[in-house]
Amino acid sequence: MSQNLWSQVDRYFADQLHPEDAALAAVLASCEANHLPPISVAPNQGRLLQLLALACGARRILEVGTLAGYSTICMARALPAGGKLISLEIDPRHAGIALENVGRAGLADKVEIRLGRALDLLPGLAGEGPFDLVFIDADKTSNPEYFAWAVKLSRPGTIIVIDNVVREGKVIDAHSKDQSVQGVRRLTAAVAAEKRVRATTLQTVGSKGYDGLIIAMVLPS
Ligand code: SAH
Ligand code: DHB
Ligand code: MG
């Protein structure tokens, strides 16, 4: 089994089920041109986020970690007229590039990118929730706090997705010195302890290597 095969299989399905479109291709091109890291969600992961948004009839979506707006665009495309996605981003350069990409995708009226440390911005979102879908994909060390905020800003039925929780399997090393790994481990403990949600993890292989997602749903009260 190899990265090359995983990428080819991703491409085999993506070419048929969600062929690359101009707006998403432009996002990836903007990442390359501006030397942003190649860590946008993969095309099939973006499509999964979009399907989850559609499945829960999302009208309000919250994202933590915008980068160039790839996942932002995937999710915002599921919003009905009047729907809104708020994405939090600490890096002004990323936010500027994302804003341009969102505009090019024709989603400027549905997407708001807020600049700042997510932990500083989240308390100010109380009046704008509850959110129907939350995607957590920023610095991994703050994952437990982001999850706590996601639950606070949720309603019964809200779906919470957290990216990059497997980290090539390093997640199982309790003694890892990698702060991202420890962030995921504390997150997992927090999800497990949160009685208001039911959750599972999906390991993924594909064009982005070996990683995974936690998917949680806030239960009816
Ligand atoms: N969700 C994007 C990828 C996000 S990459 C996609 O799949 O297309 C992670 C992003 O989180 C980076 O742009 C980084 O600048 C941002 N970030 C890191 N720490 C942050 C923080 N404390 N608050 C807000 N954003 C943060
Ligand atoms: C990293 C961050 C991501 O959001 C991602 O999807 C992949 C890798 C990282 O910081 O290594
Ligand atoms: Mg990610």
Q: How far apart are the first and last CA of the chain?
A: 44
CA of 83 to the centre of ligand 3 (A): 24
Question: How much is the pLDDT for 1?
Answer: 65
Question: pLDDT confidence of 221, banded at 50, 70, 90?
Answer: confident
> HSE-up of 109 (CA within 13 Å, CB side)?
6
Rounded distance from Cα 39 to ligand 2 centre (Å) = 5
Distance CA 70, CA 176 (A): 30
Helix, strand, or coil (residue 205): strand
Model confidence over 16-43: pLDDT tens digits? 999 979 999 999 999 999 999 999 999 9
Whether ligand 2 lies within 6 angstroms of the CB of 163 is answered as: yes
Q: What is the average pLDDT value for the chain, to the nearest integer?
A: 97
Is the predicted pLDDT of residue 45 greater than 80, yes or no?
A: yes
Q: Is the CB of 164 under 6 A from ligand 2?
A: yes
Q: Where are the domains of the chain?
A: 3-218
Model confidence, pTM: 0.98
Q: Whole-angstrom Cα distance, residue 159 to residue 30?
A: 29
Q: What average pLDDT does this structure show over 208-219?
A: 98
Q: Which long-range contacts (CB under 8 A, 24 or more apart) does 165-168 make?
A: 165/201, 165/211, 165/212, 165/213, 165/214, 166/201, 166/203, 166/204, 166/210, 166/211, 166/212, 167/211, 168/209, 168/210, 168/211
Span 3-218 CATH architecture:
3-Layer(aba) Sandwich (3.40)
Closest ligand 2 atom, residue 138 Cα: 4
pLDDT in tens, 122-156: 999 999 999 999 999 999 999 999 999 999 999 99
